[in-house]
Every structure is written in structure tokens, then in C-alpha cells.
Amino acid sequence: MAMPKLAHTPAAQDKLRALGILALNGMFDEMDAVGVLRYAVSDVLPGDLAIVSSFGADSGVLLHLVAQVDPSMPVYFLETGKHFTETLDYVETLKKHLGLINVHAIHPSPEDVKRFDPAGTLWETDPDSCCHIRKTEPLEPITEQYGGWVTGRKRFQTKERGVLPHFELTSDDRIKVNPLAYFTDADVNQYKIDHGLPEHPLFAKGYKSIGCAPCTSVVAEGEDPRAGRWRGLNKKECGIHFDFNGAIASPMTAATKHTLWKDGAFIADPFHEWTEADEPATASYKHVPLPVFLANRDAFLATQHPLGLLVLPGDNVEQVEADLGRFVSVAIKFPAFSDGRGYSTARLLVERYNYANEVRAIGDVLQDQIPLMRRCGFNAFVVTHEPTREALIENRLPEVALFYQPVGVTEIPVGTRPFLRRVH
């Protein structure tokens, strides 16, 4: 079946839509992985296709296909900083064996890691956020550069992947190519044997699907090969494959799910609510209610885990003045927008106690309050009110030029009316 040559332009995308992704998927035999990849490279997205590889147990198969079709295709490896050393060795082994000449490691932002995962244990408390800062965020600028990318996903791997086609059109008008969609576990193993591919050093030890070391475990005989990933957690994907026409994903949309607004953007929130089941000795990335902290002060001060403090209306932060350095975040609750006590608490922290870490507003946080809150020292906001979220995303916040009470040293009274102050 002859198909027109397509490029990654809006017109080409329209054409692709018109031809129908179904027609494209109908062009190839299920097992024609080379045919799928060759057509993608030469006709669908010439020069505009890249691959993200985990260099895991099965990665050699897809990379071998790439080496046959176009060894100069850009290959990106998410170097999360959490890989087994065996995986890092395997990257070098495969590069050399297959003659791949365009392999790049992508690293998480050091600022994000320092800010959200200073102890390196975020995978334990919040794996979604860990994957977000170590995989999704670093990948975003890369995916923006290409019209599509090649993946090694296969139908047999999980129930969620059971309907995976060769070609997907994503909701942000990119194409994902899955040459191995129909390969079974046995097909993959046979391919490795047939082509003499070097094995990942951990495969023989029972690791069937290999990702970051803390989130990968050995798989028992007969288990789903991906059962060893995030074992015991209700997590199957790292977030970079969700949402495609309702099934698989645009990594660019991930941030929009977050409710923590900080430094001008919605970002992953490493913190969780304190629960009665939490223990002072093991608590990490929890906003500890002030009375709970006071009752267990010694135990909390004895640990190194990142902690936050939760302040409710009526709580007295003076009681923890000496311990403020223990907290990387203070969350101040606004049970109702009309309750102004949180403003005074923030000013006490910032102006009197020189607290310089995160001061976040939680609860009833609305658009009109945010500029006022910022004046009082809040630098982070948990926003669930949808119109406020939209205003923040669209950078629409009301200007507050006039006010009645000056704050800090940057505001001075002007004019002849002493009760009217202006921001400078």
C-alpha cells in the first residue's frame, strides 16, 4: 500500500488525521517491527523522531532495530540518579555493541532534587513526585523538540497496554511509534538469541523489567514481568506514557494535575498530610500539626527527615520559634477566606523570626487573596479552587497597588492621607 510522504508540520498532521491512524496501523503485519520503524523514520517523521530508552532488560531489542534502520537516531536515557550500576554499565555495552552514535543522558534538575528530594528518599514517600522530577520534567524539553518518539512498550506487559497499536497520535499532536507492540515475552527472548544481543547483567538474576534500583525487584516465575516495578504500590507507569487519546500520554500535561503553585508554576508537591498512623521517628515530607510537634518535640528533632509544620488558626508559632530551622516548609491553614489570622502568622514567621523557607497557604485560597498573601510572606499556595487555578495558569492575578497597612521595609506611606499606602 503506497502512502504519501509525511512530515511533522500541521498540514502533515492533518493529513495523518485524515488518512486515519487506523489506516496507518493497518499497513503492517503485527510482527513487522523493522517495517514499522523504517516507515516511521523514512515516511512519517523523517529526521523528527527520537527514542527514549531505559536500557532495561528488553531494551536491546528496540535499540537493535534502531541500529539497523538509523544508528544516528537520537537515543535519550533518563539518568534518574537512581539506576543500578549494572544498568549504567549496560548503556556502554549496548552503545558499543550496536554502534549507536547519538545517545544522550538526561538528568533531573539539581535544583528540583535539592528542593524536593534532598534526602534521596522521595521514591519511598511519593513515587509519583519522584518520577515527575526525575523523569517527566527532564523529558519535557526533549519531547518538545521532536514530532514523535519510538517506545519499546508491548501489549503483553500490562493490562493497560493490552490494546497498544503500532502508531499512536497523542493529544498534543505527536506520534508515538511502538514497533514491538505485538511482541510477546517469548518473541523478545527469541529475538535476543537470534541476534546475539548482550543481556542486561541483572536479567539472569530474575529482574525481568528493570528501572530505578529502589523501585525494581525480582519477579517470580509466572508473575507479570512488570510486577517487580513499584511492587506493593498502585503504580504501573512512571507518568511519561499516560494520556494518549484517552489511553496514553502527553508528558507535557502532567504538571497541570498539581495543586501546589510555587515560583510561578504548578509543581509536584512532595508533602503529604499528617495522619494518626504516622510516627515521629519515621515521618518524612509531612506537615506535622503544631501540637503534635510540641508533644513529640525530642523525637522529631532527633531525625533528619525533611519535615513541615502545620499551623491552624489559634496555634501559637511563638512556641516553636527555637525549632523553626527544623522545618523546610510551614503550611498555614485558611479554613475560610474571611479568616485573616493566617496573614499575621506568616508575617510573624518572616518578619520577626526571619524564617526563609517555604511558607505555604492551604485551605480556602482564592485568586484575590494571593497578592495579599504574597505581601505577607507566603511563597507557595495549594490551590484547588478551579477558577483560581485557571487564573494562575494564565498569569491573571489582580494588581494590589493601594493598601492600608504597610508590610516589611519595602512599603512606605505616600500622599497626604496617612491611612493610604502604596506599593513600591
Catalytic residues: 238
**In the bound complex, which residue of the shown chain has the CB atom lying closest to ligand SF4?**
212
Binding residues for ligand SF4 restricted to 352-381, rule: CB under 6 A? none
Residue keyed to cell 507557595: 380
Residue 48, CA atoms < 13 Å, CB-side half-sphere:
18
Distances in whole angstroms, Cα of residue 247 to Cα of each of 17, 162, 242: 17, 11, 6
Cβ proximity to ligand SF4: between 238 and 370 the closer is: 238
Cell triple for residue 362?
492551604
Residue 82 binding ligand SF4, by CB under 6 A: yes
- Shortest separation between residue 141's beta carbon and ligand SF4, angstroms: 18
Binding to ligand SF4 by residue 55, rule CB under 6 A? no
Closer to ligand SF4 by Cβ: residue 84 or 334:
84
Site size for ligand SF4, by CB under 6 A? 13
Q: Is 376 annotated as a binding residue?
A: no
State the helix-helix crossing angle for 59-69 and 185-194, rounded to 10 degrees.
50
Q: Least Å distance between CB 325 and ligand SF4?
A: 28
With cell 514491538, the residue in question is: 180
> How many angstroms from the chain centroid is the CA of residue 105?
17
Binding of residue 244 to ligand SF4 (CB under 6 A): no
Pattern of binders to ligand SF4 over 126-155, x per CB under 6 A? -x--xx--xx--------------------
Q: Give the C-alpha separation, 162 to 25, whole Å.
A: 15
Question: Binding marks (x or -) toward ligand SF4, 307..346, rule CB under 6 A?
Answer: ----------------------------------------
Q: Minimal distance in Å, beta carbon 91 to ligand SF4?
A: 16
Restricting to residues 202-221, which ones interact with ligand SF4 according to CB under 6 A? 211-212, 214-215
In angstroms, what is the minimal distance from the CB of 86 to ligand SF4? Answer: 15
The CA dihedral of 108, 306, 386, 395, to the nearest 10 degrees, is -60
Q: Which span sits near ligand SF4 by CB under 6 A: 124-132, 242-250, 256-264, 305-313? A: 124-132
For position 80 contacting ligand SF4 by CB under 6 A, the verdict is: yes
Task: Beginning with the edge strand found earlier in the chain, give each strand of the sheet holding 358-363 in spatial order.
Answer: 265-267, 260-262, 380-382, 358-363, 327-334, 307-311, 286-289, 272-273
Q: What minimum distance in Å lies between the beta carbon of 210 and ligand SF4?
A: 11
Q: How far is the CB of 170 from ligand SF4 (least distance, A)?
A: 21
Which residue's CB is nearer to ligand SF4, number 70 or number 126? 126
Note whether 266 and 191 are within 8 A (CB).
no
- For residue 197, the minimal CB distance to ligand SF4 (Å) is 24
Q: What cell numbers appear for 80 in the block? A: 534518574
Q: CB under 6 A: which stretch of 23-31, 122-130, 250-258, 260-268 binds ligand SF4?
A: 122-130
Q: Which is nearer to ligand SF4, 123 or 182 (CB)?
A: 123
Minimum CB distance to ligand SF4 smaller for 67 or for 130: 130
Whichever of 79 and 358 has its CB closer to ligand SF4, that residue is 79
> First and final CA of the chain: distance in angstroms?
68
Residue from 39, 123, 182, 293 touching ligand SF4 (CB under 6 A): that is 123
Joined grid coordinates for residue 342: 493566617
Q: By CB under 6 A, tell whether 407 contacts ligand SF4.
A: no
Angle at which helices 59-69 and 85-98 cross, to 10°: 30
Cα separation, 305 vs 141, in Å, equals 31
Q: Which residues bind ligand SF4 (CB under 6 A)?
A: 80, 82, 123, 127, 130-131, 134-135, 211-212, 214-215, 238
Give the residue ranges of the annotated binding site for [4Fe-4S] cluster: 130-131, 212, 215
Give the residue ranges of the annotated binding site: 130-131, 212, 215
